[in-house]
């Protein structure tokens, strides 16, 4: 990682489910702060929280995060960091949306209570030993779109070949019997989709469902590529990152 940190552009990915009632005002403030720091990327704001992908000089990116954290609602923000040689975004977009990740299930509200999260080290240990600490078989469930899965995934992961996250609830209902009597670890790129997915599966009656805390990017950062095959697709001009969080060759 030391070599990566010598690259000039810091990329962050961070989301937080938290109740917001001032989304238009917040959007304008975030836009002005990001513009003043000449940051590029995408920031989605909804009543359920924020979802941020930004890149720029490290002091400016971290300054923006520190500004956000001054708001008590965002004090717990913990961005996942990676580095690139060039700016991977073409422009800055700050949008107000109905959901920061679209699922079309308004009863799923992580801002009012998260599903249990499992840290990367625990997931690795479970996969090393082939079962959780109670002896139950463990399966990983990929909640990403099919083309993202094709770039890289956990070995043996369940993949329902969805093309958009709003298809997840129907797929889960159709495959519910396949998940019974197992410990399920849902995962995605940064944690946002698997967080909603875990809550939905629990609402379907599955008790032993967890989300991989921080998603694939945090897993790469903390334990590397163990039990993971391939790279991780990201939605910017890098196209993806390797398990050491370096950008793909031919990317941005």
- Do both 15 and 73 map to the same domain? yes
Task: Render pLDDT for 182-212 as a digit per residue (tens, 0 to 9).
Answer: 999 999 999 999 999 999 999 999 999 999 9
Contact 30, 52 (CB under 8 A): no
- Do both 117 and 237 map to the same domain? yes
- Do both 86 and 114 map to the same domain? no
Model confidence at 149, pLDDT cuts 50, 70, 90, reads very high
Domain boundary among 96, 131, 153: 96
Domain boundary among 47, 71, 96: 96
- 226 by DSSP, 3-state: which? coil
Burial class (CB in 10 A: 0-12, 13-18, 19+), 173: exposed
Classify residue 83: in a domain, yes or no. yes
- Do both 114 and 230 map to the same domain? yes
Which pLDDT does position 31 carry in this prediction?
98
Which pLDDT does position 67 carry in this prediction?
98
Residue 65 sits in a domain whose CATH number is 3.30.70.100
Does the pLDDT of residue 39 top 70, yes or no?
A: yes
Task: Render pLDDT for 49-87 as a digit per residue (tens, 0 to 9).
Answer: 999 999 999 999 999 999 999 999 999 999 999 999 999
Model confidence at 110, pLDDT cuts 50, 70, 90, reads confident
Classify residue 181: in a domain, yes or no. yes
pLDDT, average across residues 155-166: 97
Classify residue 230: in a domain, yes or no. yes
Q: How far is CA 19 from CA 23, 50, 165, 250, in A?
A: 10, 10, 22, 40
3-state DSSP percent of the chain in helix, strand and coil, to 5: 35, 25, 40
Residue 140 sits in a domain whose CATH number is 3.40.250.10
The count of domains in the chain is: 2
Exposure letters 24-34 (e unless 16+ CB within 10 A, then b): eebbeebbebb
pLDDT, average across residues 8-20: 95
Which pLDDT does position 1 carry in this prediction?
46
Structure tokens at 138: 């463990």
Classify residue 101: in a domain, yes or no. no
Classify residue 158: in a domain, yes or no. yes
Classify residue 225: in a domain, yes or no. yes
Q: Which residues are catalytic?
A: 188
Q: Which residues form the domain of 228? A: 110-241
């Amino acid at each position: 990682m030391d070599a990566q940190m010598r690259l000039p552009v810091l990329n962050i990915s961070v989301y937080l489910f938290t109740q917001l009632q001032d989304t238009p005002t917040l959007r304008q403030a975030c836009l002005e702060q990001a513009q003043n720091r000449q940051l590029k990327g995408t920031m989605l704001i909804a009543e359920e929280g924020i979802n941020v992908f930004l890149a720029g000089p490290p002091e400016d990116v971290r300054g923006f995060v520190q500004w956000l954290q001054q708001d008590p609602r965002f004090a717990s923000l913990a961005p996942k960091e990676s580095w690139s040689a060039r700016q991977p975004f073409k422009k800055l977009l700050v949008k107000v949306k109905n959901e920061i990740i679209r699922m079309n299930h308004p009863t799923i509200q992580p801002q009012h209570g998260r599903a249990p999260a499992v840290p990367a080290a625990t997931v690795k240990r479970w996969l090393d030993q082939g079962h959780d600490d109670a002896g139950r078989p463990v399966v990983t469930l990929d909640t990403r779109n099919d083309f993202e899965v094709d770039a890289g995934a956990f070995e043996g992961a369940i993949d329902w070949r969805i093309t958009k996250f709003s298809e997840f609830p129907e797929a889960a209902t159709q495959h519910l019997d396949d998940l019974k009597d197992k410990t399920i670890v849902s995962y995605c790129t940064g944690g946002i989709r698997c967080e909603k997915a875990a809550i939905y599966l629990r609402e379907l009656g599955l008790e032993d469902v967890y989300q991989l805390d921080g998603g694939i990017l945090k897993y790469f950062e903390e334990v590397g590529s163990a039990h993971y095959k391939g790279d991780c697709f990201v939605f910017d001009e890098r196209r993806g990152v390797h398990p050491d969080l370096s950008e793909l060759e031919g990317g941005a």
